[in-house]
């Protein structure tokens, strides 16, 4: 493990990119997920159909294929993206599909009486959704969303395929330099585990806070 400690700067730089990609992808993926969930619940038939197709396609194809489509495939149409940008876009679209199902399930778990009571007070359907249903659904959605985020944190390793300098890519560079495998693989495994554990603790704290609020 001595080599790991000697090269900690490169590994921590890789961890930074891993966290950056995961957080950015989760942020935009959350907006995509909310939009798609509401489209499936409140949209007209064409909108519901389009949202369902999006979820089906994204969930039915490997994330690595989606990454190479965004990075390499769009070049055929004159769209050239940097590796980091392509990684964030592809993973945002990917996680958005999974989050949409978690959010949709959470919304459906809220009793219809809550919406009916809000409408009876004079709220519009969208006001009831925004003020009454979504805040309660957020508490229900936190655990599956947390699992999705942790999965996304680990899936960032896939973007090493397009030379993004995240954690796995950093380890591969060091392996190519020293011709030693195990110390670096064990080192990054520990780093992934630590990051996942920290985020699990943060999400548990958020879930407890929301449970007290609602």
Residue range 177-198, pLDDT digits in tens: 888 899 899 999 999 999 999 9
Q: What average pLDDT does the segment 23-34 reach?
A: 93
Query: How confident is the model at residue 132, as a pLDDT?
Result: 79
pLDDT at position 213 over 70? no
Q: How many CB atoms lie within 10 A of CB 24?
A: 17
Residue range 107-128, pLDDT digits in tens: 888 888 777 777 777 787 777 8
pLDDT at position 65 over 90? yes
Q: Which CATH superfamily is domain 2-213 in?
A: MetI-like (1.10.3720.10)
Query: How confident is the model at residue 211, as a pLDDT?
Result: 66
Which pLDDT band holds residue 202 (cuts at 50, 70, 90)?
confident
Q: Look up the pTM and report it.
A: 0.86
Concatenated DSSP letters for 143-194? HHHHHHHHHHHHHGGGGGGGT--SHHHHHHHHHHHH---HHHHHHHHHHHHH
């Amino acid at each position: 493990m001595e080599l790991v400690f000697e090269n900690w700067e490169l590994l921590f730089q890789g961890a930074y990119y891993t966290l950056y990609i995961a957080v950015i992808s989760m942020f935009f993926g959350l907006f995509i997920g909310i939009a798609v969930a509401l489209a499936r619940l409140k949209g007209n038939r064409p909108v519901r159909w389009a949202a369902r197709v999006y979820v089906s396609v994204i969930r039915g194809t490997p994330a690595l294929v989606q990454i190479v489509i965004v990075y390499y495939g769009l070049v055929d149409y004159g769209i050239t993206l940097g590796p980091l940008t392509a990684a964030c876009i592809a993973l945002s679209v990917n996680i958005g599909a999974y989050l949409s199902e978690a959010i949709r399930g959470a919304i459906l778990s809220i009793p219809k009486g809550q919406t009916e009571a809000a409408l009876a007070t004079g709220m519009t359907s969208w006001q009831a959704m925004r003020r009454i249903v979504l805040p309660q659904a957020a508490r229900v959605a936190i655990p599956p969303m947390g699992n999705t985020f942790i999965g996304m944190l680990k899936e960032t390793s896939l973007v090493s395929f397009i030379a993004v300098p995240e954690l796995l890519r950093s380890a591969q560079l060091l392996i190519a330099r020293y011709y030693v495998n195990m110390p670096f693989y064990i080192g990054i495994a520990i780093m992934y585990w630590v990051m996942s554990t920290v985020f699990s603790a943060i999400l548990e704290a958020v879930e407890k806070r929301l449970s007290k609020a609602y």
